[in-house]
Amino acid sequence: MNTNKNDTAFTVDLTNCDKEPIHIPGFVQPHGVLLAIKEPELTILQVSNNTYNCLGFHPEELLNQPLRKLLESEQIDFLNDCLTQEDIQIVNPLEFTIKTFQKPIIFDGIIHRSNGVVILELEPAILEKNNNYFRFYHLVKLAIGKLQSAKTVTEIGQIIVTEVRRITGFDRVMFYRFDRDWNGIVIAEDKQEHLPSYLDLHYPASDIPTPARKLYSQNWLRLIPDADYQAAAIVPTNNSLTDEPLDLSGSVLRSVSPCHIEYLHNMGVKASMSISIIKNNKLWGLIACHHQTPKYVPYEIRNACEFLGQVTSLEIATKEDNEDSESKIEIKSVLAKLVEYMSAEKSFIDGLINKQPNILYLVNAQGAAICFNKELYLLGNTPEKQDIQNLLLWIHNNIDEDIFYTDSLSQVYPEAEKFKDVASGLIALSISKTQNKYVLWFRPEEVQTVNWGGNPNQPVEVSENGGLHLSPRKSFELWKEIVRLKSLPWKSYEVNAAAELRGAIITVVLRKVDELAKLNTELERSNKELDAFAYIASHDLKEPLRGIHNYSNFLIEDYSENLDEEGKDKLRTLIRLTQRMEDLIDSLLQFSRLGRVDMSMQPTDLNAVVHRILDLLSARIEETGVEIRIPRQLPIVYCDRIQVGEVFSNLISNAIKYNDKTEKWIEIGYIEASDPVIFYVRDNGIGIREKHFDVIFRIFKRLHGPSKYGGGTGAGLTITKKIVERHDGKIWVESDYGEGSTFYFTLQKDN
């Protein structure tokens, strides 16, 4: 019979186990005492009402008293020192000697903080304290060696239950693993020979309700030495600092839920201990220890078991990552192939369904559907098109996640029962929820037999007064259930592969859209350029121009005596004009070719590029006396070395040309921490009025007369702009008229 009579306002049965506030029970187990202490003066604010039995002081003698009433000054100093540690629980257990009934008794002290209060729990120490480090080392060394040699999760489970039972002496130790729905299965067991086996039996999620799982996630170990204990109340009920019940989430003495006590009684268990298995900060399973008689486990042994639980958690994470390694590698290969196919095909959908392997291989599905641009593409065994359309509408209205998966679709979408033979399992991948673009995978029903430890359905019993009472089941013998309307479960690496495909599809689709937009823009621009060039070239300007140029020279040389000075000047003007016309045609030809010549992209050291350009311009630099400034080393970028060299050449040449200052200078540099990299060429020349900032980049557009500032065709900046844009960059100018200009342009970093 349960003697844990906690007079709380919260009445517990199976209807509300998931809501039971088990972190604030108001009671503790009586094998130790609990004290809530206020810092820094270490005043006792609350105690468990069993202090007289354990310490020789009635609760009222300790409340609102300094802790030194129990501990000597040296022990107080020791406790204060421990409380300064960043993680105070790492110092547990603390050893305290307290005089009780005039007899000194050694206690294990366990401390933690809760809502600004120090909680000190004291348990009588029953083991020798000499050489406790070596005892701990001895307890865990052999077990760790075996765990590290295990090949599978099941093998790890069998090793840990055997070792924990060897260390603790429990009648039964089980390795209990949770599934996605928090049902559990015993995958390893070590027990007394006469006890029935629970190996491979399943247990429903209701056996360990949500609040209990939360506390298992926060605490590595939980001990119940005697399921028939008489709980010790905490007095006063509310803490004076918070005016609320004391939060015992981290307490080792925290009293147990009546529902759990009844569960233990129904199993014939008088003592239990649970060690949490945590993977990736999430509760993965438990090492569950049961005993048929009361059994106290000293803190030192619990500490060793907790350490083994942590080691087991790490080994589980490693082994699970290694399990199914061949399947994971195969799926990675399939994903790589699908990305390759999508990139190569005009329609990415062709790459997903018309090649081998196709998207079915990615998640081991038997059917798939792609909904894109209001079209439905089917592959393998799928529901009818109208059923899929209805399913897509339900997904659109009810599922917000990018990826949704279930092995029992009919549980959430009852209409799916009619096509259970092809789609009891579903992965739904949202590419664009707003545009109704989805990828679906289907798996058929897989009828399964599940072995439960007793009937998992919660029984209704008639109590002594004739009322109905919901309580934990009493039988834990094998109970078989035929499970229908479920597919084989989706494995985590299959779901992850589907999620990765989503990213790949989005990348490929966006890249294709971007490429198409760029091609259209480039085509439009190229057409205009080619049209203009074709018009000029069609008139064969260059050949007659050369004839005019040559014959004008002949006239000056051969008939100079017959020409007066005015005639000679006109011929010279004619020669100059034909030369300018030929330069214009050459510039136009160069500009037209830029868009059609392939670029040789490679990591490029711009320091070498700039110094090569400066060498080529050295005569003009020396002649004009311009000072070249390069404040720091230029970075390495990914570009066409020749074309980017032309960018620097045009900008530096213009900076030399358009400068009327006595002391001329040009600065070449870049802006720190910009992506893409922003380069600049700055001068102290004549400057440009703001209204001309856009005009200067138009072909053949000059702001000065043909002969002023050394002449030129006016195509240099246009060519420069085209080169920068072909590198996916931008170019712009900032200038103060009469004081100088700065031309900025961007290039991509070398990754």
- Give the CATH number for residue 295: 3.30.450.40
In a domain, 521, yes or no: no
Last-in-domain residue among 307, 322, 337: 322
**pLDDT digits 0-9 by tens, 353-395:** 988 999 999 999 999 999 987 889 999 999 999 999 999 999 9
Give the span between the Cα atoms of 577 and 178, in whole angstroms.
89
Segment 651-659 shows an average pLDDT of 89
Q: Is the pLDDT of residue 9 over 50?
A: no
In a domain, 525, yes or no: no
In a domain, 457, yes or no: no
Looking at the chain, the whole-number percentage of residues with pLDDT higher than 90 is 45
* Contact of 22 with 212, CB cutoff 8 Å: yes
Give the span between the Cα atoms of 496 and 363, in whole angstroms.
9
In a domain, 15, yes or no: no
> In this structure, what are the phi and psi dihedrals at residue 560, rounded to the nearest 5 degrees?
-60, -30
Q: Same structural domain for residues 419 and 556? A: no
Between the alpha carbon of residue 98 and those of residues 8, 35, 36, 43, 591, the distances in Å are 32, 14, 17, 17, 95
Our count of domains for the chain comes to 5
End-to-end CA distance of the chain: 72
**pLDDT-based confidence at 572, cuts 50/70/90?**
confident
Sheet holding 375-380, edge to edge: 375-380, 367-372, 437-443, 425-432, 403-406
**pLDDT-based confidence at 470, cuts 50/70/90?**
very low
Q: What is the DSSP code (8-state) at residue 661?
A: -
Give the span between the Cα atoms of 63 and 45, in whole angstroms.
6
On average, the pLDDT of the chain sits at 83
Give the span between the Cα atoms of 611 and 332, in whole angstroms.
47
Residue 38: the pLDDT is 94
- Tell me the three state secondary structure of residue 245: strand
Q: Same structural domain for residues 543 and 495? A: no
* Contact of 314 with 160, CB cutoff 8 Å: no
Residue 476: the pLDDT is 57
In a domain, 32, yes or no: yes
Give the span between the Cα atoms of 93 and 196, in whole angstroms.
36
**pLDDT digits 0-9 by tens, 86-123:** 888 888 889 999 988 778 899 999 999 999 999 999 99
Give the span between the Cα atoms of 343 and 169, in whole angstroms.
62
393: containing domain: 326-447+485-500
Q: What is the DSSP code (8-state) at residue 416?
A: G
Tell me the β-bridge partners of 104: 99
Last-in-domain residue among 594, 629, 657: 594
Q: Same structural domain for residues 148 and 176? A: yes
Residues 6 or more apart whose CB falls under 8 angstroms from that of 457 comprise none
The enclosing domain of 70 has a CATH number of 3.30.450.20
**pLDDT-based confidence at 577, cuts 50/70/90?**
low
In a domain, 534, yes or no: no
Q: Same structural domain for residues 224 and 306? A: yes
Q: Same structural domain for residues 350 and 248? A: no
In a domain, 287, yes or no: yes
Residue 469: the pLDDT is 42
Residue 120: the pLDDT is 96
The enclosing domain of 613 has a CATH number of 3.30.565.10
The model scores a pTM over 0.85: no
Q: Same structural domain for residues 238 and 298? A: yes
* CA angle (48 as vertex; 44, 54 as ends), nearest 5: 100
Peptide bond between residue 25 and the one before it cis (omega within 30 degrees of 0): no
Q: Is the pLDDT of residue 674 over 50?
A: yes
Q: Same structural domain for residues 350 and 372? A: yes
Q: Is the pLDDT of residue 404 over 90?
A: yes
Q: Same structural domain for residues 317 and 223? A: yes
Segment 565-587 shows an average pLDDT of 67
Give the span between the Cα atoms of 644 and 35, in whole angstroms.
76
Lowest-pLDDT range of 80-89, 265-274, 320-329: 320-329
Q: Same structural domain for residues 177 and 269? A: yes
Segment 239-257 shows an average pLDDT of 92
Last-in-domain residue among 302, 322, 342: 322
Segment 505-532 shows an average pLDDT of 65
**pLDDT-based confidence at 186, cuts 50/70/90?**
very high
In a domain, 9, yes or no: no
The enclosing domain of 369 has a CATH number of 3.30.450.270
* Contact of 246 with 117, CB cutoff 8 Å: yes
Between the alpha carbon of residue 18 and those of residues 204, 205, 221, 281, the distances in Å are 13, 10, 21, 21
Give the span between the Cα atoms of 155 and 312, in whole angstroms.
11
